Chain A
């Protein structure tokens, strides 16, 4: 009889636990990701969600240490398609990877520091539009160099 009572209590607990599950799921909003520019990611969505970090890490070592470039996975590739504008970032004038990455990384409470070194800013057709003064100086110098090279080539 005592055993029967125990099972009843256990069942009660289980029911309560199951009943509370949807409430837990409602607690944190599930991320809704901005639509990327491209049609198709380098791998299927589900695979990318779980493995993007491994793909990046594997290829970073190959690129950095062995000089193998232009392969399928790349940080630059991520930026090209997934960078998006956000009103709080540079008044929505530049496309960065922050809005895309931040949603899931906030949801999963995973903090990574890729962007402290790697530029998350997409290079548009008009990079000057988003430049600071220092950048402008640099761009001027670059165009001077290009002019110089052009002369050399025509000789």
Chain B
């Protein structure tokens, strides 16, 4: 493992990791305020990617950057509406139900969303029109595609604005209050229903942005849903209920996957076989290791439970 390989891996990994971080923040915000682990998050990511591609390619009369901007705006709006709808129609009746039912409902939701998307877009790989030219720039002497730089920058801007939103805006504070202590927040006049609805809308929008950025980079297909679940690794690593943890976890998973997974992919032989695609399961190995060693993650609340 040469220094150049590691450096390259770290730079590329940070770029991918910033997108994971964005998706993971959606996960975490939802978990923090509603205590729901949303296993349909991958489908929300996919939804964002597909819708943005569809809108962007449909608006052929507009100049490309404008069409893309319109696509992003429509997607964000649609994702937020989807989030609201899911909360109202499915999650609210289940309030207070056991954890198991809620997890299964999110899985079922994933099925429905995915099924509808397969029906509409038939599961082929869709690519964005060339919004960003496919050139390669050098970051710290490492060649990275321009798309990667752009998506990392976009992710960074969004993450910053999210944290400002949670810190200073009225709704952000209400959501944090609800996350911290639901009962107290509700006695102080925070509407839990609304907080839950906003949390869902927010999670869906964050997932959709992640889908758009990944779609710009890799093209949109059903593998993106798996990427959505990789954000789970980031969330577990950072601690389920910690937003900074999710960001750091996302970046770490991106780097570990690119450096370690990439190295094992390329160089490690088992019984003379190369391990193709090991990169894809690295995130799940991270999950298993973290759960064994430190189940509450790097920054998560440590539940002291003797079992």
Please indicate whether A and B come from the same complex rather than being unrelated chains.
no
Q: Which residues of A contact B (CB under 8 A)?
A: none
